[in-house]
Structure 1
Amino acid sequence: MKATKTILSVLIVLLVGATFGSDIASAAGINPVAFVGGTGVLGLLIGGSLNGALPMAINITSVYAGEVLDTLLVRATTANELVDGGHIHMEPNIQKKFTIPRLKVGKMLQKRKEQPTEEDSKGDFNVTEKYLEPQDVMAFTTFNPRSFEKFWRPFQPTGNLVFRELPPEAQNKMLAEMAKVVNFELGNEFINGVKGDAEGEYFDGILTRISADGDVLTVDTAAAITEVNIITALKAVVAKIPKALKKANVKPKVKLFMSVTNAEMYDYVLTEKPYKGMDYTGMNPERFKGYKIVPLADWPDDVIVAAYANTEMDSNFWAGVDYVDDAEVIQIDKLTNAGEKYFFKMLLKADTNIVFGEDIVLWDGRAV
């Protein structure tokens, strides 16, 4: 008897949903077919869905079945790891060009002379320059606030039709996500960027500068890195580090940069050494002979760089920007006065460079 009553109850609910669903949906501004098939009780039972692929910058895919969590969940990404990790000096307020002066002093000691003359002068001061020339970069995308009006209630636009706009919560979430994605892209450009005329070629990244500098100390035996040779590769890189950078007061700021994949290889090698490393439940310290290993998500495989890198003026890695927070300043406004679309726009300038190539060691096994 109870089973019969349950079945009758379900049938009545389905009938009511089919009869009144269209009217309810129309009043709410939702496609009646989508309401009955995708969001009513019948839609829930048959697994209906509502997919919106919009002809603009916003693409929405939704299985709307009533109220949703009142926060947009966004996918986590890596950020600008060189900056966030404190591995590069940032020089702000560069609108056009910034000069990095480099001073090198020659040997000066000599035998004592009672009356030294001009000809006895030994040693010299060599001043050379490197430059930061921040290049213009833009992020720009458009959207229509009304694209949200048939989806989630917390993000439906408000106000009269002609002035309709997204709630502040939705705008803030989209702005924050845009800033995060731009920061992520800049992180890759700070490492691998190449200056050029084509789209996607903005400025030279740190690794591009290192590869092009003839003074950089390269390891001639470099090859693709595997678990078999990664210890050998690290030994070869450390062996080439200048003695001045091996002093106790300097060594903590000399870092070994490598890809996440190669850093994991090193960790597994240590783990598999009996009585030496951690077991498989833990991570080994990211260090090699006292030098800190820095795994970077955007760093290419088979490349190891040893460099004196920090946020101070004596860092060997430099970046120049117009303003440090340009990547977080976003303009939002109507695309045209008479139109319904809005735009997000961000302008920034950036460039990178290295200071002393002779103080950098490079293992590059990509071309081998």
Structure 2
Amino acid sequence: MPEALEIQDTTYAGEAASFMLTRAVVGADTIQKGCIMVEDGIKKKKTIPRLDVTNIMQKRQATPTSSGSMVVDARALEPEDSMAYLEFNPRDFEQHWFAVQMNPKLLDAELPPTAENFVMLMMMERLNEFFENGIWRSRKDYDPDGAGVDPTSKGAEAADAAYLYWDGLIIKALEDPNTIAVSSPVALTGGASGNIITEFQRAYQKVPKALIGKYGELGLKLFISIPDQQKYENTMQLQTTFKNQDTTERGINRYNGYDVVPLAGLPENTFFWGMGKPDTTSNLWMGINSQDDNELKMQQLQNNSEYWFIKGLFKTDVQIGWTEELVMYTTQVA
């Protein structure tokens, strides 16, 4: 039976602290920073209705004839299945400092409360990291049981092969012919001779007029990766004649008055201009089966076993409302 738990620290040299240090990982930035509308309770499929009215004006007539069009269509959220599951033997902690906290009866061996809490905490943090990356980077074509596409052949990182359970926002934007794509994208650079501000401006010039001037948290935003945010700040420090910030202070995340939102899930050399909000006016959506399902269960594997398991079931999808109102800059390809 494969076991997930590996105890590498077995030397007792005094009392152990009453906590465990968990590894720092990226959080669910896209959700936590209010950049996407999360639709809950989708059992199979959720339709996002869209309405557009065009060509409605005409010359005055005593008896007018109908002119113009009213189009109602929809985008769909169809959450795809994924699962987290691992097994371990709590008795492995008998080799650890937490052994003194465990039940003295071997048949009732289980994790001490402190260890259990931190195991679950670390699991949840890893899940947040996974979903943050998956919102943007996922491609079902990466599935080795399907198309088995190598992410590096698409300009993505090799590690993106782990994100294969649904199609993320990047591939959906790439495959939609109505997405406003910036031509000839290049690797973004920062510093005194960096190109990042020039490329931001090239993309900004393609933003639809209807979105210009919509400032603030609920307005037009520039979504960028963490590495590109660092390039941008470095460029602002070195290229501007009149410095707009104290280089010892945290930078102001704005460009031309619009909020610049660094997101851990976005890959380097990819950014978007768009309207991403935590409400139904958002252009970016995420669909899940149920908030209640997005929990982890830890319990004994079966009555005659010493093994325990941690399990979580998830259904997830993402969607773009109007690709005609999303400007994409990426060195990745469809």
Contact 1:334/1:341 (<8 A) preserved: yes
TM-score by length of 1: 0.79
Q: 1:274 to 1:317 in 2, by over 3 A?
A: same
**Paired residues, what number?**
310
Shift of 1:285: 1.2
- Quick one: which of 3, 17, 21 aligns to 1:73? 21
Shift of 1:238: 1.1
TM-score by length of 2: 0.87
SS in structure 2 of the partner of residue 320 of structure 1: strand
Q: 1:325 to 1:276 in 2, by over 3 A?
A: farther
- Taking only the aligned residue pairs, the percentage that are identical comes to 34
Q: Which runs of 5+ in 1 are unaligned?
A: 1-53
Q: How does 1:30-45 map onto structure 2 within 5 Å?
A: none
> What is the alpha-carbon distance in structure 2 between the residues aligned to residue 173 and residue 141 of structure 1?
15
Whose radius of gyration is greater, 1 or 2?
1
Shift of 1:267: 0.8
Q: 1:322 to 1:248 in 2, by over 3 A?
A: closer
SS in structure 2 of the partner of residue 127 of structure 1: strand
Match of 2:3 in 1: 56
Q: 1:252 to 1:168 in 2, by over 3 A?
A: closer
In the alignment, structure 1 residue 152 sits paired with structure 2 residue 97: yes
SS in structure 2 of the partner of residue 315 of structure 1: coil
- Quick one: which of 198, 205, 230 aligns to 2:144? 198
Shift of 1:154: 6.2
Using the TM superposition, name which of 58-67 and 236-245 deviates more: 58-67
Shift of 1:298: 2.3
Q: 1:190 to 1:147 in 2, by over 3 A?
A: same
Shift of 1:135: 0.9
Shift of 1:250: 7.9
Q: CA RMSD in A?
A: 2.0
SS in structure 2 of the partner of residue 190 of structure 1: helix
SS in structure 1 of the partner of residue 259 of structure 2: strand
> What is the alpha-carbon distance in structure 2 between the residues aligned to residue 249 and residue 175 of structure 1?
39
Which structure has more relative contact order (CA 8 Å, sep 6+)? It is 2
> What is the alpha-carbon distance in structure 1 between the residues aligned to residue 22 and residue 173 of structure 2?
35
Q: How does 1:207-356 map onto structure 2 within 5 Å?
A: 207-227=170-190, 228-248=194-214, 253-272=219-238, 273-327=240-294, 329-356=295-322
Please tell me the residue identity of whatever aligns with 2:68.
Answer: G
Using the TM superposition, name which of 224-233 and 105-114 deviates more: 224-233
Instruction: For residues 76-124 of structure 1, give each alpha carbon's deviation from its aligned partner in whole angstroms, at most 9, with x where no partner exists.
Output: 21111111111000000001000011111112111000112xxx21111
Structure with bigger helix share is 1
Shift of 1:332: 1.7
Contact 2:214/2:220 (<8 A) preserved: no
> What is the alpha-carbon distance in structure 2 between the residues aligned to residue 353 and residue 105 of structure 1?
22
